[in-house]
Amino acid sequence: MSSCSSGTPGWGSSRTAPTSSSAWSAPAISSRTTRYDRTAGRGPACRRLDRGIGPGNHGLLVPAHSLGRVACLVGGTRPRWARGTADPSRQPARKGLPVKSTAANKRQRLTREERRDQIIEAARGVFLSVGPRARTRDIAEAAGVNEALLYQHFRSKEEIFEEAVVYPVERVVTQLAADVAALPDHLGYEMHREITESFIRELLVATRDSVSLLTTVLFSEPEAGRAFYRNRIWPLIDTVAAIVTRNLPAWEHRDFDVETTVRAVLWMSLGVSIDSELTGREFDPEVVARQLTELIFRGLLAGDVGGGEIGE
């Protein structure tokens, strides 16, 4: 088999033969050379290596079957593949292999709303365990996000806290306002009863799901509980009371204090949820909402309007 080129066996004519006794001769190859790949033994007998070559050199020719054993390169630079680390830029792409998932990729798969909900749920658990003084670092760790990411969704820890605690109840009140606003001005007894029953049912669900956190916030630290009640619960009571007041002319009823009635509805719902939490007895929001609605309307209605036994 002839040498790769004229001159010193095993080296191109423009190259200086190595002085080491370990110099070797490369077998003959075609004048056409290809870039290094990992298919040794399947392509041309030699590969031209472009990396690690000094100025004035045109590449090193080595046998394909010896790529993993080359120990001497012109220019003295030892490329990564020769040190046992494959060069990613020269490896052929492997199709059909799954890309390893990373934490960053998982974060990118959530929408902004989903990420916000995830943070709120994590915050609920942290606040329940630690109380209102929980650190944002703890919330971020529980949510599996960077602490700085919290402030892309919330302005402060206080906002996270309030949202985690009151958001379910606040959402029910907002829905009540939207439902009533979409109805005609003059409604009969049955329509008001249905709206009230639906509101109480959703309120029972919200307080049931948040009862542990609500009681922790309201009663674990008296001053913080009072501030929370004034800032977040009172406005909800005022909103519902305003809705009821606007609709008083639309149905026959006895005179009653609207704000007291609204507070009673809220705390009856919360009381049922607390009882369930402490005793372990579950309740059906549909059934309890119907019973509480009958109790309220039988006490407020004028005359015999909407007669019948409570709980029917």
pLDDT, tens digit (0-9, with 9 covering 90-100), for 231-256: 999 999 999 999 999 888 878 888 99
What number of CA atoms fall less than 13 Å from residue 159's CA on the CB side?
9
Residue 122: Cβ within 10 Å count: 21
Domain containing 248 equals 166-300
Q: Is 0.85 surpassed by the pTM of this model? A: no
Residues 235 and 183 in one domain: yes
Residues 145 and 188 in one domain: no
Model confidence band, residue 145 (pLDDT cutoffs 50, 70, 90): very high
Domain ends where: 91, 118, 139? 91
CATH number, residue 294: 1.10.357
**Cα–Cα dist 67/37, whole Å:** 9
Residues 149 and 192 in one domain: no
pLDDT at 142: 95
Most confident range, picked from 13-17, 161-165, 194-198, 221-225? 194-198
pLDDT at 6: 43
Instruction: Please say if the pLDDT value at position 298 is more than 50.
Output: yes
φ and ψ at residue 224, rounded to 5 degrees: -65, -35
Residues 59 and 178 in one domain: no
The amino acid at residue 30 is: S
> Stretch 98-103: mean pLDDT, rounded?
46
> Stretch 135-140: mean pLDDT, rounded?
94
> Are the C-beta atoms of residues 160 and 150 closer than 8 Å to each other?
yes
In a domain, 307, yes or no: no
- Min mean pLDDT across 57-66, 160-169, 297-306 is at 57-66
Cross-strand pairs, 61: 48
In a domain, 120, yes or no: yes
**Cα–Cα dist 171/206, whole Å:** 9
Residues 143 and 184 in one domain: no
Residues 237 and 122 in one domain: no
Residues 296 and 210 in one domain: yes
In a domain, 288, yes or no: yes
Residues 5 and 87 in one domain: yes
Residues 49 and 110 in one domain: no
Instruction: Please say if the pLDDT value at position 32 is more than 90.
Output: no
CATH number, residue 119: 1.10.10.60
Model confidence band, residue 94 (pLDDT cutoffs 50, 70, 90): very low
Q: Please choose, from the candidates 237, 168, 173, the residue with its C-alpha nearest in 3D space to the C-alpha of residue 207.
A: 168
User: pLDDT exceeding 90 applies to what percent of the chain?
Assistant: 35
In a domain, 203, yes or no: yes
Instruction: Please say if the pLDDT value at position 158 is more than 80.
Output: yes
Mean pLDDT (the chain, rounded): 73
Cross-strand pairs, 60: 49
Residues 76 and 120 in one domain: no
Tokens 């009381």, located at residue: 271
Q: For residue 189, what are the CA distances in angstroms to 116, 151, 167, 226, 245?
A: 40, 47, 30, 37, 15
In a domain, 118, yes or no: yes
- Min mean pLDDT across 51-65, 160-174, 185-199, 218-232 is at 51-65
Please, what's the b/e burial string for 68-95 (b: 16 or more CB within 10 A of its CB; e: otherwise)?
A: eebeebbeeeebebbeeeeeeebeeeee
In a domain, 310, yes or no: no
**Cα–Cα dist 193/50, whole Å:** 84
pLDDT at 230: 94
Q: How many domains does the chain have?
A: 3
Q: Residue 60 is inside which H or E element, if any?
A: strand 60-63
In a domain, 197, yes or no: yes
Most confident range, picked from 45-49, 65-69, 148-152? 148-152
**Cα–Cα dist 178/172, whole Å:** 10
> Are the C-beta atoms of residues 290 and 196 closer than 8 Å to each other?
no
Residue 233: Cβ within 10 Å count: 19
**Cα–Cα dist 60/78, whole Å:** 12
Instruction: Please say if the pLDDT value at position 90 is more than 70.
Output: no
> Stretch 271-294: mean pLDDT, rounded?
96
pLDDT, tens only, 102-130: 444 455 588 988 999 899 989 988 887 88
* Top-confidence residue, 58 or 246: 246
Residues 294 and 190 in one domain: yes
> Stretch 183-188: mean pLDDT, rounded?
67
Instruction: Please say if the pLDDT value at position 264 is more than 50.
Output: yes
pLDDT at 26: 44
pLDDT at 303: 61
**Cα–Cα dist 104/107, whole Å:** 5
Residues 18 and 68 in one domain: yes
In a domain, 10, yes or no: yes
* Top-confidence residue, 303 or 194: 194
pLDDT at 117: 87
